[in-house]
A and B are shown apart, each in its own frame.
Chain A
Amino acid sequence: MVSQELASFFEEGIGIHIGSRSAALEPGGARALAAKVEDHGASLVVYMPALFADQVLPDLQSNGQAAVLFGRPIDDRSVQVKGTFVDVRPGRDDERAMVQAQWEGYFANLALIGIPGAVYDRCPRWPVLAIRLRVTALFEQTPGPAAGAPLS
């Protein structure tokens, strides 16, 4: 279950990547733009550019195993969510502002450490896919010896 504090962290506009793997255990992954915690912390919806679908979606639909990495540039706080694939749908128009706000929040965070958000200008912003995962585990991922420790 994702706590309220963690949900706020996931949704504040930070770096997000979703990882998957093939039947041959080849890892795959792609950048996501936004995330939303639902079902009182039991589910996580990841908003990924539709152009990146081929990088993770076939594997997610095939074996269901997913890892989502959240990282905040200003302090490198990072958390990883393990989950299983539930479903996917196109992002709705009424979600566009939220997705845009999180993506721009990430840029603002990058700017604090001197990285212009324009370095990610080439990343597609819309349309997006909303990938729903059931949260199975949470791990500390902030760089250092504690990285990989489970979060209650």
Chain B
Amino acid sequence: MSVTLESLATCFQGLLPAELFTCSRDGIPNAAYLSHVDYVDPNHVALSFQFFNKSRRNISENPQAMVLVPDPDTGHIWRLRLRYVRSETEGPLFERMRLRIEAIASYCGLKGIFKLRAADVYEVLKIEQVAEAPDPAERVSVWRHADQRPADPVFTMHALQNLALRLHTAESLEGLLDSILVALDESFGFRHSMILMPAEDESELVTIASRGYSDSGIGSESRHGEGLAGLVAEARKPIRISGLMRGILYALAMHHHATDPKKVIIGRKIPLPGLENPESQLGIPLLVRGELVGVLCLESEVPYRFHEEDKQSIEVLGNFVAIAIQHMQLQERSVAEAAAETTGAVPASPEPPVPSPLPGRHQVIYYQTDECVLVDGEYLIRSLPAKILWKLLTTHRDTGRAEFTNRELRLDKSLNLPEWKDNLESRLLLLRRRLEQKCPTIRILPRARGRFALELCRDVELSVRP
């Protein structure tokens, strides 16, 4: 082969439909669209097997096939002559293809509807370029022009130095998370991003930082296996989707739904941050020695924004980012512990000046069964951050105390924090950000390492409901 399969990597993103041609044993040709052709190795590709359709029956009778795959970067169309080899129902290839289907289905609320029966592996016998119109102008990419052009090349040494500097100089978990997203935007051109971290319930993620969205979505949750972040967390593998709109329409067509994908999107207590019309998504697990520290998600309205080299580079970046986050979490905890040991659990420093309260008062209700807090009838937060807020507010009401330490929260049995890896600092950060967003008159202000103050700019009335 003069052209290699590796050199056609951009054809295998599923951005443009491919066509599969087969023939039955009795000589009737068949043509069908394919949602995705997957690269397997230098001599093989895989096609998804979801339904027992005519193409699949033909292949079982006659293993010869041909696919036409367009290259979205160059506009060349390639003819791959194939021979069916085997079907895989487990393993990395199957999982990769399954996850892509699941991610798209989950995005439009159809998770679990579509089942990948097998990844059908074909040997590539021949690669030919389809004849083209005489065109002297050699285009680089139709996707990379005008305002869609990314900062190219993206992964420059300068950009990496910028990120490294930000990682090194961040002084808190909050600063670190924000720095990562700022660097991805300003140095790499990825404008819409979010970081989710594991919640107390280990099967859930919670959004702790985001950038480039009108609504930050801080505190929004995603269960493992649901949505892009949830699927990345479950699989602990990166997932990239190009041409999301086409994938959604394909999924909806399969489900015989209307063409408006919004009709079936699942509602949430706090909506996940997201673009209204995303076309490309990339999710990367942030792993340290196999432990899931978080998930980094990038989005774009450009259909083919995350190229193969982007995915690989962001995966590498994700490794460093994960280590930096975990290191900062451990450091914040150890510093907070050390600070508490030197000064005692209850701060000796004078109380900060209390601001003059604004008129009116907040109705703050804690729902015990759901472990969630509502302020003035609006949902604020749930789970451990809700319990922490309730603890702070009731302590302040009962004792007048406004300064607290991380350590006393750790020792508080009512909060039921795990002894190891309680992620308290990230929960406090989450609580602080939700308050900033939804109730800025109740504030949590860092005072020093391991120490913070509750500041009420408006009176609160506390009540508990079952």
Interface: B165 (CB within 8 A)? no
Q: Which residues of B contact A118 (CB under 8 A)?
A: 75, 139, 142
Q: Which residues of B contact A74 (CB under 8 A)?
A: 249, 259
Q: Which residues of B contact A105 (CB under 8 A)?
A: none
Interface: A90 (CB within 8 A)? no
Q: A115-B243, A124-B132, A148-B54 given as contacts; is B68 within 8 A of A27 (CB)?
A: no
Closest Cβ of chain A to B125, distance in Å, is: 10
Closest Cβ of chain A to B319, distance in Å, is: 32
Q: Which residues of A contact B66 (CB under 8 A)?
A: 26-29
Q: Which residues of B contact A25 (CB under 8 A)?
A: 23, 25, 27, 62, 64
Closest Cβ of chain B to A34, distance in Å, is: 16
Interface: A134 (CB within 8 A)? no
A21 touches which of B27, B72, B132, B133 (Cβ 8 Å): B27
Residue interface bits A61-90, CB-to-B below 8 A is 1, else 0 = 001011111010111111010100000000
**Contact A27 B22, beta carbon cutoff 8 Å:** yes
Residue interface bits A22-36, CB-to-B below 8 A is 1, else 0 = 000111111100000
**Contact A144 B29, beta carbon cutoff 8 Å:** no
Q: Which residues of B contact A148 (CB under 8 A)?
A: 53-54
Interface: A57 (CB within 8 A)? no
Minimum CB distance partner of B64 in chain A: A26
Q: A17-B68, A65-B29, A74-B249 given as contacts; is B17 within 8 A of A144 (CB)?
A: no
Interface: B32 (CB within 8 A)? yes
Q: Which residues of A contact B132 (CB under 8 A)?
A: 51, 122-124
**Contact B303 A115, beta carbon cutoff 8 Å:** yes
Closest Cβ of chain B to A27, distance in Å, is: 4
The distance in angstroms between the C-alpha atoms of A21 and B79, with both chains bound, is: 15
Q: A122-B77, A124-B132, A125-B133 given as contacts; is B249 within 8 A of A76 (CB)?
A: yes
**Contact B72 A67, beta carbon cutoff 8 Å:** no
Q: Which residues of A contact B25 (CB under 8 A)?
A: 25
The distance in angstroms between the C-alpha atoms of A75 and B279, with both chains bound, is: 16
The distance in angstroms between the C-alpha atoms of A113 and B247, with both chains bound, is: 10
Interface: B320 (CB within 8 A)? no
Interface: A116 (CB within 8 A)? yes
Interface: A9 (CB within 8 A)? no
**Contact A68 B256, beta carbon cutoff 8 Å:** no
Closest Cβ of chain B to A121, distance in Å, is: 6
Minimum CB distance partner of B254 in chain A: A144
A122 touches which of B35, B54, B76, B254 (Cβ 8 Å): B76
Residue interface bits B1-24, CB-to-A below 8 A is 1, else 0 = 000000000000001110101110
Q: Which of the listed residues B15, B19, B35, B76 has the most CB atoms from chain A within 10 Å of its own CB? A: B19
Interface: B51 (CB within 8 A)? yes
Q: Which residues of A contact B245 (CB under 8 A)?
A: 113-114
The distance in angstroms between the C-alpha atoms of A15 and B75, with both chains bound, is: 16
**Contact B133 A67, beta carbon cutoff 8 Å:** no
The bracket for how many chain A residues form the interface is 35 or more
Closest Cβ of chain B to A80, distance in Å, is: 6
Minimum CB distance partner of B244 in chain A: A114
Minimum CB distance partner of B56 in chain A: A148
**Contact A82 B28, beta carbon cutoff 8 Å:** yes
Q: Which residues of B contact A142 (CB under 8 A)?
A: 253-254
Minimum CB distance partner of A60 in chain B: B29
**Contact A29 B21, beta carbon cutoff 8 Å:** yes
118-148 of chain A: CB within 8 A of chain B: 118-125, 139, 141-145, 147-148
Closest Cβ of chain B to A2, distance in Å, is: 17
Minimum CB distance partner of B62 in chain A: A25
**Contact A71 B21, beta carbon cutoff 8 Å:** no
Minimum CB distance partner of B257 in chain A: A75
A15 touches which of B17, B79, B249 (Cβ 8 Å): B17
Q: A120-B70, A124-B132 given as contacts; is B75 within 8 A of A144 (CB)?
A: no
The distance in angstroms between the C-alpha atoms of A26 and B246, with both chains bound, is: 30
Closest Cβ of chain A to B32, distance in Å, is: 6
**Contact A29 B255, beta carbon cutoff 8 Å:** no
407-463 of chain B: CB within 8 A of chain A: none
A27 touches which of B15, B64, B254 (Cβ 8 Å): B64
Interface: A13 (CB within 8 A)? no
The distance in angstroms between the C-alpha atoms of A51 and B133, with both chains bound, is: 8
Minimum CB distance partner of B15 in chain A: A115
A67 touches which of B30, B259, B279 (Cβ 8 Å): B30
Residue interface bits A101-122, CB-to-B below 8 A is 1, else 0 = 0000000000001111011111
The distance in angstroms between the C-alpha atoms of A120 and B130, with both chains bound, is: 12
A-B contact pairs, 15 of them (CB 8 A): A17-B21, A19-B30, A21-B23, A26-B64, A28-B21, A28-B29, A67-B30, A76-B253, A80-B32, A114-B279, A118-B142, A119-B142, A145-B51, A147-B54, A148-B53
> Which residue numbers of B lie inside 8 Å of A, CB to CB?
15-17, 19, 21-23, 25, 27-33, 35, 51, 53-54, 62, 64-66, 68, 70, 72, 75-77, 79, 81, 130-133, 135, 139, 142-143, 243, 245-246, 249-250, 252-256, 259, 277, 279, 303
> Which residue numbers of A lie inside 8 Å of B, CB to CB?
15, 17-21, 25-31, 49, 51-52, 55, 63, 65-69, 71, 73-78, 80, 82, 113-116, 118-125, 139, 141-145, 147-148
Nearest 10 A/B pairs, CB to CB:
A76-B253, A69-B31, A27-B21, A19-B31, A144-B254, A29-B21, A21-B23, A51-B131, A124-B133, A122-B132
Contacts A65-B27, A115-B303 aside, 19 further interface pairs with beta carbons under 8 A come to: A17-B19, A17-B68, A21-B23, A26-B66, A27-B23, A27-B64, A52-B130, A63-B27, A65-B29, A76-B253, A80-B30, A80-B31, A115-B246, A118-B142, A119-B75, A121-B135, A124-B132, A139-B54, A143-B254
